[in-house]
Amino acid sequence: MSDVAASPSDLRAIPVDDLTIEQAQAELAVLAAEIARHDALYHQQDRPEITDADYDRLVRRNGAIEARFPELQRSDSPSLRVGAAPAAGFGKVRHAMPMLSLGNAFAPEEVAEFVARVRRFLSLPDNAPLAFEAEPKVDGLSCSLRYEDGRLVLAATRGDGAEGEDVTANVRTIRDVPAELPPPFPAVLEVRGEVYMTRDDFLAMNRARAERDEPPFANPRNAAAGSLRQLDPSITAQRPLCFFGYALGETSERVADTQSGIRRRLKGWGFRLNRPAARLGGVEALLRYYAGIGRRRAALPFDIDGVVYKVDAIDLQERLGFVSRAPRWAIAHKFPAEQAQTRLKAIAIQVGRTGALTPVAELEPVTVGGVVVSRATLHNEDEIARKDIRVGDLVTVQRAGDVIPQVVGVILSQRPHESESFVFPDHCPECGSLAVREPDEAVRRCTGGLICPAQAKERLRHFVSRNAFDIEGLGEKIIEEFRNDGLVRSPADIFTLKDRVKRGEITLVGRPGWKEKSVANLLDAIEERRNAIALHRFIFALGIRHVGEVTAKTLARHYGSLDAWLEGMKAAAREMPKPEWAELRTLKGLGPASVDALRAWFAAPENLETVRFHANAPDLRPETALRNLGIKELKQPAITALVERYGTFAACLDGLRTAFAGAPGDAWTELVNVRDVGAIVAEEIASFFLEDRNLEVIEGLRAAGVRVEDAEVRQAADSPVAGKTVVFTGTLTTMGRNEAKARAEALGAKVAGSVSKKTDYVVAGADAGSKAAKARELGVTVLSEEEWLALAGG
Ligand code: IVH
């Protein structure tokens, strides 16, 4: 692809209708970079290199390709900012309170589960009333408006939820957004809502664009996003944008006790609200509301993709809080996906970062819910086999919201006669290494590791991605070019670029699209990351399987510093339980208590003599010998199990010794007990650390001077439970188990799943069982629920 991208003029000779999807994608990338470069030359440096007519040709070509392949539109597409005066771009804004997204429900059972989850969390009995506020889910983009002393001072897009873009000047041009609020209002008020465009305005705007030979927008959402993200507010002013308020961010005082109350206040301040809303109790009422809105959907003047249910009482919302990016107190109930039928032209196999082979359907382009789709995911090989999907089949494709389109099934009556079942490759299409499947896994993986160019490429792309190192100017495309040209092979190479440039070993200036200034900016951006990268970003960037952003954050918080984490992970890898131990633990008849007792007994030096004595008495039956050891926890079923498994007494001794040697150590136990981790994730982390080439990547980064910041210790360091490890067990009465955990974590405590020497407190509710007993045995403080509440401050 890189040689194609290097000569855009060749590509432009191909009529748009003849472009393959790969060519189209490559050319859109080239056009985005090239148009951005001309924008900068024209607007910032006042020295254009091409005529206005040639510039227009580039923009039109870009628009025409996007019109044919709308799914290829890039987030940095020039058509999202045509005519803009690209100054330095938008300023960044840190949100005072994170801007959340919403969890999704599709089936009625998922709505019921949401309601049940809320009740469980709050420990609300089934008959206690619980009201929800329901409203349509508008398909636009979310925006936060900050008012100080009643005046609009800042408007920001959501961005990644923590940090967005400053679009104040543009938002001031939206008529629905009041510049000043009528009193009374709190000194600080953040209004969260959705910027959107009505369907009629969208159609009118596209008609006008067509008359001016401008490419159309694919749907109202894109049109709204493109209009809001104009760098020139006078252009936004001409776009028919609207705004709905639906929630609050930071406020200097409480403005209402309920969600419906918030709506009334918003209305009083002059905001438009998304209607029709309703205050409802119970799953049936929610589902009736959903069905009703579904029926009225086409008649509403704007696009909606579902409805939102929110717990009405604000104090309950506060107790529920949020998990990762979504509130526990709200959920989006989405409308079913839109479907269409088309031919499956081919099945391509992509190789991902962890070597997973993913089948992708290449389709005759078809419009699904207003967007042209030409590729769809096929998930994995079992899915293809189960649905018997064959090349040449007529297939049903569906698309829901922002998710990747998927192939739902085959229309068998339309199957061509000569079709054959699809044979999934057992070798990596990229490097030819064997591709294997673990017995309990759905995916087949390339075994080539970093010798596989596809894996190496994906790992690098992951390394620089937004939630990882996120180096400005070093996006996925550039890193791929650098890799193809041998400038960057492993992550550490990014941080030696500057030195290599200085020493004259490589040159960046003069590469297509790179000038003195852009190279200097890139090297500065790299320096900034070298000097400080948050620990969780570093962990996430390594691309360990199953370690997503949330787990990376939990690990960072738990271990605190890079050194502590690395030491912990290496130790955990060494101390991973061996299969012999796992086998002993699963022998029927041998509970954890008898295993613990056996292990303790065999570890005690004073028992050695007894063992030797019995081992030298070969005519004793093994059952008798085991019983004679005098271990009181070793009951008859356990003895039978051991003899059945190992045979003779000597073999029992041998088997036990090997199993005990394979028992997990404290570092492993600690890792497994970190919230969100568990055995499967821990195994992935351990196997990552058992591979030398992974350790080399980490050492390489440290040697290149990358400085990793310690994780913030959770807020409330002055809380008496900050930094303490707590285990909850038994039934709690004032709140659900999950709420208890969430609150403890908010106070800076670490919540673990099982009791060890490192546990500080075990909070025992009603019917607390073995965990409380184990705590007493280990001398760990056991608290009642009341004592815990008193300690943690109520
Ligand atoms: S409430 C704390 N209400 O949907 C959660 N969101 O998919 C705040 N959205 O990011 C969201 N209509 O941009 C809420 N009536 C509505 C909405 C709505 C659209 C958007 C919002 C959110 C996204 C999540």
| C-alpha dist (Å) from residue 121 to 619, 675, 744 | 61, 17, 14
Answer whether residue 400 shows pLDDT above 50: yes
Residue 753 is predicted with a pLDDT of: 78
- Nearest residue to 167 (alpha-carbon basis) of 81, 62, 252: 81
User: Ligand 1 in contact with 142 (CB < 6 A)?
Assistant: yes
Nearest-CA residue for ligand 1 atom 2 is 100
Residue 83 is predicted with a pLDDT of: 35
| 328 Cα to the center of ligand 1, angstroms | 13
C-alpha 401/C-alpha 408 separation (Å) is 16
| 214 Cα to the center of ligand 1, angstroms | 31
C-alpha 629/C-alpha 624 separation (Å) is 9
370: confidence class by pLDDT, cuts 50, 70, 90: low
Q: What is the DSSP secondary structure assignment for residue 451, as one 8-state letter?
A: G
Q: Which of 190, 248, 289, 308 to mutate to test the pocket of ligand 1 (most atoms within 8 A of CB)?
A: 308
| C-alpha dist (Å) from residue 25 to 11, 307, 487, 512 | 11, 34, 23, 18
Answer whether residue 361 shows pLDDT above 80: yes
User: Ligand 1 in contact with 194 (CB < 6 A)?
Assistant: yes
Helix (H) or strand (E) holding 602: helix 592-603
pLDDT in tens, 594-632: 888 888 888 888 888 888 877 777 677 888 888 888 888
Active site residue 137: yes
Higher pLDDT, residue 615 or 764: 764
Q: Say which amino acid occupies 201.
A: D
Rounded CA Rg of the chain:
31
Answer whether residue 368 shows pLDDT above 70: yes
Nearest-CA residue for ligand 1 atom 3 is 246
User: Ligand 1 in contact with 595 (CB < 6 A)?
Assistant: no
Q: In this structure, what is the dihedral angle of CA atoms 530, 536, 542, 546, given to the nearest 10 degrees?
A: -170
Residue 385 is predicted with a pLDDT of: 92
Residue 401 is predicted with a pLDDT of: 57
C-alpha 305/C-alpha 141 separation (Å) is 12
User: Ligand 1 in contact with 330 (CB < 6 A)?
Assistant: yes
* Percentage above 70 pLDDT, the chain: 93
- The pair of structure tokens assigned to 716 is 């409330």
Higher pLDDT, residue 612 or 261: 261
Residue 10 is predicted with a pLDDT of: 41
Q: Say which amino acid occupies 412.
A: L
Range from 220-224, 349-353, 516-520, 741-745 carrying the lowest mean pLDDT? 741-745
Residues 341 and 395 sit within 8 Å (Cβ to Cβ): yes
Query: Average pLDDT, stretch 648-655?
Result: 87
User: Ligand 1 in contact with 221 (CB < 6 A)?
Assistant: no
User: Ligand 1 in contact with 135 (CB < 6 A)?
Assistant: yes
User: Ligand 1 in contact with 465 (CB < 6 A)?
Assistant: no
Nearest-CA residue for ligand 1 atom 23 is 101
- Nearest residue to 139 (alpha-carbon basis) of 222, 81, 72: 222
User: Ligand 1 in contact with 156 (CB < 6 A)?
Assistant: no
pLDDT in tens, 291-339: 999 988 878 899 888 999 999 999 999 999 987 678 999 999 998 877 8
Residues 535 and 561 sit within 8 Å (Cβ to Cβ): yes
- The pair of structure tokens assigned to 662 is 């394979």
DSSP per position, 138-197: ESSEEEEEEEETTEEEEEEE-TTSSEEEB-HHHHTT-TTS-SBPPSS--SEEEEEEEEE-
Q: Which atom of ligand 1 is nearest to the CA of 327?
A: 2
Nearest-CA residue for ligand 1 atom 17 is 137
| 313 Cα to the center of ligand 1, angstroms | 17
Q: What does residue 50 show for φ and ψ, rounded to 5 degrees?
A: -130, 165
pLDDT in tens, 206-260: 888 888 877 777 778 888 988 888 877 888 888 899 999 999 999 999 999 999 9
First-to-final CA distance of the chain: 61
Q: Which atom of ligand 1 is nearest to the CA of 136?
A: 15
| 277 Cα to the center of ligand 1, angstroms | 14
| 58 Cα to the center of ligand 1, angstroms | 36
Q: What's the order of all strands across the beta sheet hosting 330-334?
A: 104-105, 330-334, 304-311, 131-138, 278-281
- Highest mean pLDDT pick, 216-230, 649-663, 701-715: 649-663
C-alpha 216/C-alpha 203 separation (Å) is 9
Answer whether residue 403 shows pLDDT above 70: no
pLDDT in tens, 45-104: 556 677 666 777 788 788 888 878 877 887 677 766 533 333 346 888 899 898 988 988
| 735 Cα to the center of ligand 1, angstroms | 27
Instruction: Say which residue the tokens 């607007």 belong to.
Output: 43
Residues 119 and 130 sit within 8 Å (Cβ to Cβ): yes
Find the catalytic residue in 92, 137, 310, 774: 137
C-alpha 424/C-alpha 678 separation (Å) is 32
Q: Which of 194, 248, 259, 304 to mutate to test the pocket of ligand 1 (most atoms within 8 A of CB)?
A: 194
User: Ligand 1 in contact with 309 (CB < 6 A)?
Assistant: no
Answer whether residue 132 shows pLDDT above 60: yes
Q: What does residue 371 show for φ and ψ, rounded to 5 degrees?
A: -125, 140
| 192 Cα to the center of ligand 1, angstroms | 9
Residue 209 is predicted with a pLDDT of: 85
244 burial level (CB within 10 Å; 0-12, 13-18, 19+):
buried
Query: Average pLDDT, stretch 370-393?
Result: 89
Q: In the chain, what's the furthest Cα-to-Cα distance?
A: 102
Give domain 725-791's CATH architecture. Answer: 3-Layer(aba) Sandwich (3.40)
3-state secondary structure of 153: strand
729: confidence class by pLDDT, cuts 50, 70, 90: confident
pLDDT in tens, 4-55: 333 344 445 677 888 888 888 888 888 888 887 877 666 555 566 776 667 7
Q: Which of 95, 132, 133, 137 to mutate to test the pocket of ligand 1 (most atoms within 8 A of CB)?
A: 137
C-alpha 290/C-alpha 295 separation (Å) is 9
Residues 208 and 288 sit within 8 Å (Cβ to Cβ): no
Residue 11 is predicted with a pLDDT of: 47
Give domain 449-531's CATH architecture. Answer: Orthogonal Bundle (1.10)
Q: Which atom of ligand 1 is nearest to the CA of 307?
A: 15
| 351 Cα to the center of ligand 1, angstroms | 34
C-alpha 121/C-alpha 215 separation (Å) is 50
Give domain 92-323's CATH architecture. Answer: 2-Layer Sandwich (3.30)
Higher pLDDT, residue 435 or 716: 435
| 147 Cα to the center of ligand 1, angstroms | 20
| C-alpha dist (Å) from residue 331 to 101, 173, 244, 401, 737 | 9, 31, 18, 15, 21
Give domain 538-576+667-709's CATH architecture. Answer: Orthogonal Bundle (1.10)
Range from 425-429, 440-444, 665-669 carrying the lowest mean pLDDT? 440-444
Nearest-CA residue for ligand 1 atom 22 is 101
2: confidence class by pLDDT, cuts 50, 70, 90: very low
C-alpha 691/C-alpha 569 separation (Å) is 12
User: Ligand 1 in contact with 308 (CB < 6 A)?
Assistant: yes
Q: Which atom of ligand 1 is nearest to the CA of 332?
A: 7
User: Ligand 1 in contact with 246 (CB < 6 A)?
Assistant: yes
Nearest-CA residue for ligand 1 atom 21 is 142
User: Ligand 1 in contact with 100 (CB < 6 A)?
Assistant: yes
Q: Say which amino acid occupies 273.
A: L
384: confidence class by pLDDT, cuts 50, 70, 90: very high
Q: Which of 97, 100, 102, 320 to mutate to test the pocket of ligand 1 (most atoms within 8 A of CB)?
A: 102
User: Ligand 1 in contact with 101 (CB < 6 A)?
Assistant: yes
| 210 Cα to the center of ligand 1, angstroms | 32
C-alpha 360/C-alpha 350 separation (Å) is 7
Nearest-CA residue for ligand 1 atom 16 is 137
| 401 Cα to the center of ligand 1, angstroms | 13
Share the mean pLDDT of the chain.
86
Instruction: Say which residue the tokens 């965990």 belong to.
Output: 771
Residue 80 is predicted with a pLDDT of: 63
Higher pLDDT, residue 85 or 479: 479
User: Ligand 1 in contact with 307 (CB < 6 A)?
Assistant: no
User: Ligand 1 in contact with 102 (CB < 6 A)?
Assistant: yes
Nearest-CA residue for ligand 1 atom 14 is 246
| 96 Cα to the center of ligand 1, angstroms | 18
